[in-house]
Amino acid sequence: MGAVLHAETAPDLVHPVIGFRLWRIDDAGLRSLYHDERWSRGRHTARCAAGRLAEHDEPSPAHSCTCGIYAWYEPCPRLAWAGSDSLVGGAVVLWGQIELHGTGMRAQHVMVVGLALPLTHGPKRRRIVSVADSLEAEAVPARRLAAVAKRHGQPVPSELKPRCAPARAGAVVQRDPRADWLDPARARSRRRGRGSGSG
Ligand SMILES: [Zn+2]
């Protein structure tokens, strides 16, 4: 799968990171795009659903697998969801084990913090407001999603984003999502000792 930052050599991130996703939305709430998986208030934890071929002992997301909860680094373009009554874009915070890829990441724990409102008033807007309320997330104009997310976490530092191969983002945050970010001293010392990785 290419070069990897192993957990013991990658910097510890002590603050949750922010990301962006799309969901299906209906009156019952949010559902993952590609799985029949409902999202409820608070922490959403990844489970490996890859089956026997992908068995691994480590928690999801495993480097050797495709599991984990996916999110992009940047907000999804409005075009990706605005034209559909059943799609909504939003912001999340991610913590636990995180595998970094070129344009996004796979994480162990994720929480919805914001949903993007359509420009128009109507049933979809009312549904988003209601679902956001049930998730204790904010319903905001799309342009404000990143600002909402930054109240709960920080963007993945650009120097940690792999240009092509995925990278393990260290022994990442196993603490409350509202704690504080990257320990610069530990990050520096670990970066000095980083190996070339494998995989
Ligand atoms: Zn897996």
39 C-alpha to ligand 1 centroid (Å): 19
Query: What pLDDT does 180 receive?
Result: 38
Tokens of 92: 């999340």
Predicted TM-score (pTM) of the model is 0.77
Neighbours of ion ligand 1 (CB under 5 A): 48, 50, 54, 62, 65, 67
25 C-alpha to ligand 1 centroid (Å): 26
63 C-alpha to ligand 1 centroid (Å): 8
82 C-alpha to ligand 1 centroid (Å): 32
What residues pair up with 90 in beta bridges, in sequence order?
Answer: 21, 115
Torsion angle defined by CA atoms of residues 134, 79, 102 and 72, in that order, rounded to the nearest 10 degrees: -10
Report the alpha-carbon distance of residue 143 to residue 7 in Å, rounded.
Answer: 34
The tens place of each residue's pLDDT in the chain, 199 residues long, gives 322 333 333 456 678 999 999 999 999 999 999 888 999 999 999 988 766 555 788 888 988 888 999 999 999 888 888 889 999 999 999 999 999 998 899 999 999 999 999 999 999 999 999 999 999 999 999 999 999 999 999 999 888 888 766 666 654 544 444 433 334 343 344 344 333 333 3
**Torsions phi, psi of 99, nearest 5?**
-105, 120
Give me the residue spans of the domains in the chain: 17-192
125 C-alpha to ligand 1 centroid (Å): 35
